[in-house]
Structure 1
């Protein structure tokens, strides 16, 4: 899949282009784990791209590779036309003012010895930006925190949801164009998750943000995303508009994930999940299609030939030899 293949139109205003991205880790003396194995996608200005998949599929590694943390071992990552993989560390630091991240564990991501006001101002202080106090005040108010009442307190005095608001304020203070949200609500209670999701939606409109939203929770992804990318064992299975993908999945793995979603109604009968087997080792993935060992539609051909992304409709791409009709 190339980035041109995943764009809806040639004139689409693309902010992020990822092409043939690879991330490898060494495990032991000779084993190499391809956590991300040559994936391509794009993100357009002002949209939210959701990235979903089971644990270990490579979605968080993909998000961090966009930030060059760690540096990918192959492929390109173009942010507003600049290939981040070719930038020096100093040049990359300048880009990170425009490309921020919100991490999974809000409490662990905050310095426990620093006051909230100083945490939010950290990036501003590093860059020596003017009107620091005003920016901090504005960012804290935007996430629903009272700067006067909370600014001089420590993170340990706040709940997980409030700490995530502090993390979001820290990212907002630099006025970025894109925020990578790496499982930003998975460590929070369900009621608090809804508050943070609604906050991100409001901030996206208010600040004109572009979001990459990584999560294993399809219910959350459906709410926040404009398009969704489904990953399995370091590969992209399917990309499409959120409504199309949820209402009419084309990849057997996507359908398996959706069939496994709980329904809060005891009278609703769910179809049985059409898959079998355990997730293979990412160190030694199956040949051909990586999902074939769990797919009821797999044939010998699936073991021999890796499926390439195929365009099935407007903005719909699936990597499957026998996509669902």
Structure 2
């Protein structure tokens, strides 16, 4: 956003600092609701466009600009979520939320003036890949009610005004979402222990050791890849250690110049695959009982833009 008011005059907007201070909060909210940083940024931009479309008198009449911005951004997200299922029906292959890098991976990117998603999105348990994937199973109203209340601590009276339901109905929506999320979560693992499992997985993958990979995969392991139809990837999930391991080994045999790096993905240990120094795949994992239970491989280049501006060496 410019330091000038979009209304077209040359005066500094006296409300600019207060309004722009809400930007990070809005990005955090929209990313959790939509699972896409690009879409979240579009939502925030549209929210600010609507703010500056009002007259100064209309803006000054708003008691809580931050609350107004949150309400508008949430409603835009709700509309987008409502149409998401129809749009996803046309999406080629699996749809996986857009992965985010860790702040520590972006030091060199920031020094070159590259925008850092980790500076804008707080990396906590509400953005790990498993959590975001479960959110995709919720209805739009459930997702909005749950995220606003359980993650951002908004009261149900405010949420009711956003989703067009009563506070009691919003409480029920959040409760239903909470039960679904708790029922799908695996027991928590320490980041250090999960990192050890992922490191062993990386080494087995690089060594093309099918037996070792199978040993690191849970018997019910499931792997999904998101290409958006723009690059090569399976159109369906792969289930079972043997099938997953063979597919991973076939990939590195077919593309011997791949480099696999350990990286934090959405706040948890993951892997990044590069080809000729360019990130081509970001892999997130779910780990339970020292075994990999879920693999999410994002290959859609449109979802990898934040990863292509950061450091390229391990």
Task: Give your verdict on TM over 0.5.
Answer: no
Higher helix share: 2
Q: Point out the structure with the larger strand share.
A: 1
TM-score of the superposition, structure 2-length normalised?
A: 0.25
